[in-house]
Structure 1
Amino acid sequence: MNAAARALITVSAAFFMASAQAELPDPSRFGRAMEMGDIRSASRWLDEGLPPDFEADVTGSGLMIAAAEGNIRLMELFVERGANIDYVSRIGEQAIALAAWKGHQRAVEWLIERGASLNPPDKTWSALHYAAFAGKTRIVDLLLRNGAKLDARAPNLATPLMMAVREGNEGIVKALVDAGASTTAVSDRGENALAWALRYNRLKIATLVAPPENVAEAVSAPPVAAPAPPPQASIPAPPEVSELLNKLRQAEAQGKPTEALRRQFMAAVERHRKTSAKQTVKAAPSALVISAKRGKAGAERAELVAGAATPAVQTLAEDAGAVDILRAIQAAQAKGQPTEELRRRFRAEVDKLRQSAQ
């Protein structure tokens, strides 16, 4: 083989390698595909060299997204391809915690069966924290039966009991107390479970975490801080709108024509607008949030919400951390609310965390 032929082969190989690399997704595209359960694309990207723990723009690795969606087949694919079952994302989350938070019991069981750790390093959000916070009673029981640490500490030193108290999950509070959870452990602000119960006006729960005389004494004391305002009410879009929106996103992601779907979507939104106008939202005057951008998958939104067009941003505290902002993003996505401002805040918060770690 002469030099010219060898050079041609070298250039051709480099070209095909570059082409294969060009097929790999960016974090945003990867995240959308995994949320949609696109196993075919996941398999192809892994074949082409995508790292098995590659992270999407928001949720985390492919395994973590699959766990959050309860998609066992997709979870199997990533584990078979070498994904770390205990991988910790850039904001300190793990697959089993996300599965617990979303209430996917089979996914939690699947991960436990394959050796997933229930007890991450101290000052990390655990699966028990997330299940207690989300009110997933069966998953709390499952985690406790399998050795989850009762008094695991989050970055703010909160325990799972504190998270259940905060959200008013009375049954879980009782289960944790009965299992031996500490009622005297304090957060980084020096507050125990009783203090959290009183902050959020959970008086019945307060009697589960402290003796009656302690509750009475605390109630009679001057308040340290005003209770958090209740979240604004919202009316979700009907199934017809949600289904059309999902079909529209899938069509755009696959490069198919979308004009007919978009017309159907907007017509359904208009019908929803007229119907919703007859409903009453107690929290505040309501407004229908609608947006649609051509050629941009996932840009369409339709939701009747209370108050301004971006309630998730309004109700998020100014000093919210990355995890709080991520929760708000996911909640907004589930309700079809805009997330652009939340994503901006999330990226800024992650940048701060990275800088502080350096």
Structure 2
Amino acid sequence: MSDEIALRKIIHVDMDAFYASVEQLDNPELKGKPIAVGGSSRRGVVAAASYEARKFGVRSAMSSVLAKRNCPELIFVKARFDRYKEISNSIRTIFFEYTDLVEPLSLDEAYLDVTHNKKGNPSATLIAQEIRQRILEETGLTASAGISINKFIAKVASDMNKPNGQKTINPEEVIQFLEDLEIRKFYGVGKVTAEKMYKLGIFTGKDLKQKTLEFLDSNFGKSGSHYYHVVRGIHTSEVKPHRIPKSVGAERTFNENLSSEIFMLEKLQHIANELDRRLKKSNLAGKTITLKIKYSDFTLQTRSKTLPYFIADKVLILEMAKELLYQEQLQNSVRLLGISLANLNTENKEAETKEDAVYVQLKFDF
């Protein structure tokens, strides 16, 4: 990292096992027990797992059958998203008492830019402690936080002392922290990418840093430049209070596998109706429609078509989805269908005014 670089004070707040913790909060009988939020049926999927369940290897997106096999004592609880949203809104109200620069990533996590905050507190570390304490007092739930000079490092740091902890990576610690970091802990490096990096001799940030930009570009495409810069502490993405959606979609998993397109038409109509509702709620339309097909063997296929005009009406959406469905023969029986719209009518909203970056010396009070 150069001697002068645009430094911000960024906090990433991540609620601890949020959905499961809410269920344990509202039902004290569930406290201390392994619970999974989601369906317990043969086709069910775990949406979230308590820390007690995670000890048995239960994870989100895991099939309910496998989760139950890993943890026979697992208790399944039906998701209550209205309740989660209610608590999430209360937490965000706390955030806005400290800064208007709040970028929610989901109901249970957000970035906060507290470089210039409403409390006049120069220490992002103390602000994070205060916010976590406020969340605990006002909701009864715990949160973890990461604090550093940019969103990438703050996100990585928030996982370091979970649950109910926080980690600050000061400016002068950034380079050493990134060099020592295991590559699988880099935010955005999934299992497949990590395996590829291992084969290329990249196990830590230090190994990654030794690779040239040309090498990373040739092996990881567009992500190569991202890896090259973040390992050097360079990540210029700002905290954006109003995140512009890139796509809107709806999908459904079926209780029984569907083996013919005829049986899928009614399902697609329900999905198109739900997508229509979501588009109207946000006043959105899109040009690129994608049909998502997950087969019974869990392989995933997408079929897309881009139109010269925006669509949002459920009748048009359904017709396009049908066209994509019949575009080619199915590879297997189908367990999930989804429809999404991208290329949205939000381009005019993305022309946000950006202030010039403030360049300061590395001496920075965190």
Q: Give the alignment's TM-score, normalised by structure 1.
A: 0.25
- Which protein is richer in helix relative to its size? 1
Higher gyration radius (CA): 1
User: Which protein has greater RCO, CA pairs closer than 8 Å, 6+ apart?
Assistant: 2
